[in-house]
Structure 1
Amino acid sequence: MHDIKLVNEVEQALFDALSKRGRVNILIAGKTGVGKSTLINAIFQGQLATTGQGRPVTQNTREITKADIPISIFDTRGLEAAAFEETLDALEKLITLRRKNPDPQHHIHVAWVCIAEDLRRVEEAESRLVTMLARYIPVIGVITKARADQGFRAIVQELLPDARNVVRVRSIPEELDDGYMLKPMGLQQLVDVTMEVVPESQQNAFTAAQKVDMELKKRRSHLVVGSAATASAAAGATPIPFADAAIIVPIQVGMLAQITAIFGVPLTKGFLTTLIASVITGSGATMAGRTIAAGLLKLVPGAGTAAGATISATTAMAVTTAFGETYIFTLSKLFDETRGEPPSDEEIIKRFRDELRGRQ
């Protein structure tokens, strides 16, 4: 007979989920006043440019991080003429040094070079910067404070041939003199273009850190549910006696941990333990695997939990899919309500429990 203690499975699930999510590092460069901080706050969770911790890594570059957000922003200044040569040399040394680290989590993975649209010109410093960066990492040109293109994007593309793409963005609403309101634009496209060039091993981290594209979080999470459902079906390939149903529980725990990580919710042992225990039976952290399995089976009409009953591959897959998709649905609704910022642990647990009960 198989049984588990929830707290043991949670510890392993946390380690696996955070390892699979990894970390992404983005270099953002541009002259003073181009709107880098506003762009960072518009794209990423946690008002990162405002509330993140910054530490200098070169004289003109600081690394911005924040607890529970799996991204480092390398904010580069000093593109003005007086400091440019020093900035360019220091940046190249920084990138090459980090590339030598055998752990790709320490590499810089992509660069955004920001140019303000209202300046209507690409300076030699920006062109040289893109050329240097493109020798090592993908570069995206970002035209900030976009109002009227008037052919400027095409000019930027021509003058920055080494950039993978050029995206026009407006990070925040802007009211014109006549009262007309310009809405934010281009943020979704910038996320899409960045996802195309970020290494696969960093894509879950970028998905988690950004708050613009909820569909991206959902798509990546659906893949996790599909993999977990397949694993559950394999476990039930030979029908499992209900008394041994706890062997599929680690799959469910790992699935929830990975989805939580992809959505960018702070992932802790206490949260994950309480999430699983409370939504199934309201029990505490020592709840046994068979108790969890009994609660999960209630999600699938007709699955049965009677003594002597067995769980087939089809039932195991259905239970896993129902559990995972309900969690994705819950997080999606909450993130829509919070405009991309992580909701509280208490709100997630309450809403997930309510959604599960509504589907039984």
Structure 2
Amino acid sequence: MAEPAIVHEVDRALNEALTRRGRVNILIAGKTGVGKSTLINAVFQGQLATTGQGRPVTKDTREITKEGIPVSIFDTRGLEMQAFAETLQPLEALLRERQHSPSAQEHMHVAWVCLAEDTRRIEDGERHLVDMLAKHVPVIAIITKARADQGFRRIVQAELPAVKNVMRVRALSEELDDGHSLPPMGLLELIDVTMQLVPEAHRNALTAAQKVDINLKRDRAHQAVAAAAAAAAAAGATPIPFADAVVLVPIQIGMLAQITAVFGFPLSTGFLTTLIGSVITGTAATLTGRALVGALLKMVPGAGTAAGMTVSAITASALTTAFGEAYIAALTILYERNKGEPPSDEEIIKAFREQLGKR
């Protein structure tokens, strides 16, 4: 059971973490059979193209979302040349409307235009599409089903000069007739290029939604730890009496919420409260701020836990860093074990306690 002040802080931290993470909006276009759904499922959590909810936003474009995953995919279907104008005109109207929204959460942040490598052909309609999109949003040309370039990437760069980059990807491994296997390729590079084009305010959302780059998640989580450690050090600039050290608690709770959000794992008040309670490991029947600080101080060699002690800036920063890095280590292990898919609450709590025990 948690004291009301802790529950209040958890609610505040959760709402702030989700607000700061926001959402990222990606438009994906290409002809039928080019491999858009396969690419979406390979890059993002939750088998998004298969299990996400589709909402029509134009006759040929639907917005795909899934609860807990901070990305909206705007999938332009049936981009066939014989009916091209019927798709292009409402699509441009949609872009104009969204890009003029006062809320950046409504903007389209990047567009992926997919071209199958095996055709080695760019049609006039695709040129018009890229030129139109580039007026409103950064565009990446993605050569899908990549096997042998044979100069096609250079051709795409030359014939679609408005794109920001041309990426060759293979979303799934492929078995060849001669028994050789081609592994997935280009997905890390695609995320890296996309991150560079997406506005900073939406990069945490992209980091959380994608599942191919663990280092990206870790790097963003380390930033959250560094910010929290700096805040804790500032709070301890004048040594804090132990009885008043609960001022550090909101910093720790906020840090855990930020890390969970940037990893893209489920985040709720119940989960976060239980996660924080796991630190106490049974030392108190009620989760209180003082009990949490006492447990954290045990992680800093020589800090002690005496009621009469004070918490210095160095100690406050050190315990915050140790706490945050233990959590990142736990989530990294689970991320790699689950191949990027979210673990259960129980798995996270167990792994976190194991990492805390090593500190």
CA distance in 2: counterparts of 1:282 and 1:266, whole angstroms: 25
Q: Secondary structure at the match of 2:354?
A: helix
Tell me the equivalent position of 1:59: 59
Question: Per-residue CA shift, 1:33-82, capped at 9, x if unaligned?
Answer: 00000000000000000000001111110100000000000000232123
CA distance in 1: counterparts of 2:258 and 2:283, whole angstroms: 22
Question: Per-residue CA shift, 1:140-172, capped at 9, x if unaligned?
Answer: 000000000010000000011000000000000
Tell me the equivalent position of 1:219: 219
Q: Please, what is the CA RMSD of the aligned residues?
A: 1.3
Tell me the equivalent position of 1:14: 14
Tell me the equivalent position of 1:245: 245
Give 1:46-85 correspondences, 5 Å limit: 46-85=46-85
Q: TM-score, normalised by structure 2?
A: 0.98
Q: Secondary structure at the match of 1:300?
A: coil
* Counterpart check, 1:304 vs 2:304: yes
Q: Secondary structure at the match of 2:13?
A: helix
Q: What residue identity is the alignment partner of 1:295?
A: A
Q: What residue identity is the alignment partner of 1:204?
A: N
Q: Identical aligned pairs, as a percentage?
A: 67
Residue 211 of structure 1 contacts residue 341 of structure 1 at CA under 8 Å; is this kept in 2?
A: yes
Give 1:26-65 correspondences, 5 Å limit: 26-65=26-65
Q: 1:285 to 1:149 in 2, by over 3 A?
A: farther
CA distance in 2: counterparts of 1:189 and 1:144, whole angstroms: 13
* Counterpart check, 1:127 vs 2:127: yes
Q: Secondary structure at the match of 1:140?
A: strand
Q: Secondary structure at the match of 1:65?
A: strand
Q: What residue identity is the alignment partner of 2:324?
A: G
CA distance in 1: counterparts of 2:142 and 2:285, whole angstroms: 48
Question: Per-residue CA shift, 1:183-215, capped at 9, x if unaligned?
Answer: 000000000000000000000000000000000
Q: Secondary structure at the match of 1:58?
A: coil
Tell me the equivalent position of 1:140: 140
Give 1:288-327 correspondences, 5 Å limit: 288-327=288-327
CA distance in 2: counterparts of 1:108 and 1:295, whole angstroms: 45
* Counterpart check, 1:194 vs 2:174: no
Residue 43 of structure 1 contacts residue 212 of structure 1 at CA under 8 Å; is this kept in 2?
A: yes
Tell me the equivalent position of 1:180: 180
Give 1:249-260 correspondences, 5 Å limit: 249-260=249-260
Q: 1:39 to 1:296 in 2, by over 3 A?
A: same
Tell me the equivalent position of 1:108: 108
Alignment gaps of 5+ in structure 1? none
Residue 23 of structure 2 contacts residue 71 of structure 2 at CA under 8 Å; is this kept in 1?
A: yes
Residue 281 of structure 1 contacts residue 292 of structure 1 at CA under 8 Å; is this kept in 2?
A: no
Q: Secondary structure at the match of 1:70?
A: strand
Question: Per-residue CA shift, 1:225-246, capped at 9, x if unaligned?
Answer: 0000000000000000011110
Number of equivalenced pairs: 357
Q: Secondary structure at the match of 2:358?
A: helix
CA distance in 2: counterparts of 1:193 and 1:356, whole angstroms: 35
List, as ranges, runs of 4+ consecutive aligned residues in structure 1 with deviation greater than 6 Å: none
Q: 1:54 to 1:286 in 2, by over 3 A?
A: farther
CA distance in 1: counterparts of 2:299 and 2:291, whole angstroms: 14
CA distance in 1: counterparts of 2:299 and 2:175, whole angstroms: 50
Residue 4 of structure 1 contacts residue 289 of structure 1 at CA under 8 Å; is this kept in 2?
A: no
Tell me the equivalent position of 1:88: 88
CA distance in 2: counterparts of 1:24 and 1:285, whole angstroms: 41
Tell me the equivalent position of 1:355: 355
CA distance in 2: counterparts of 1:295 and 1:42, whole angstroms: 40
Residue 242 of structure 1 contacts residue 311 of structure 1 at CA under 8 Å; is this kept in 2?
A: yes
CA distance in 1: counterparts of 2:310 and 2:79, whole angstroms: 67
Q: Secondary structure at the match of 2:143?
A: strand
Q: Secondary structure at the match of 1:279?
A: helix
CA distance in 1: counterparts of 2:265 and 2:116, whole angstroms: 33
Q: Secondary structure at the match of 1:191?
A: helix
Q: What residue identity is the alignment partner of 2:38?
A: T
Alignment gaps of 5+ in structure 2? none
Higher mean alpha-carbon deviation, 302-311 vs 134-143, is at 302-311
Q: What residue identity is the alignment partner of 1:133?
A: L
Q: What residue identity is the alignment partner of 1:315?
A: T
Residue 43 of structure 2 contacts residue 212 of structure 2 at CA under 8 Å; is this kept in 1?
A: yes
Residue 14 of structure 1 contacts residue 257 of structure 1 at CA under 8 Å; is this kept in 2?
A: yes
Q: Secondary structure at the match of 2:170?
A: coil
Q: TM-score, normalised by structure 1?
A: 0.97
CA distance in 1: counterparts of 2:284 and 2:318, whole angstroms: 26
Q: Secondary structure at the match of 1:342?
A: coil
Shift of 1:287: 1.5
Q: Secondary structure at the match of 2:108?
A: coil
CA distance in 2: counterparts of 1:185 and 1:282, whole angstroms: 47
CA distance in 2: counterparts of 1:173 and 1:312, whole angstroms: 53
Shift of 1:100: 2.0
CA distance in 2: counterparts of 1:200 and 1:224, whole angstroms: 15
CA distance in 2: counterparts of 1:255 and 1:127, whole angstroms: 46
CA distance in 1: counterparts of 2:261 and 2:101, whole angstroms: 25
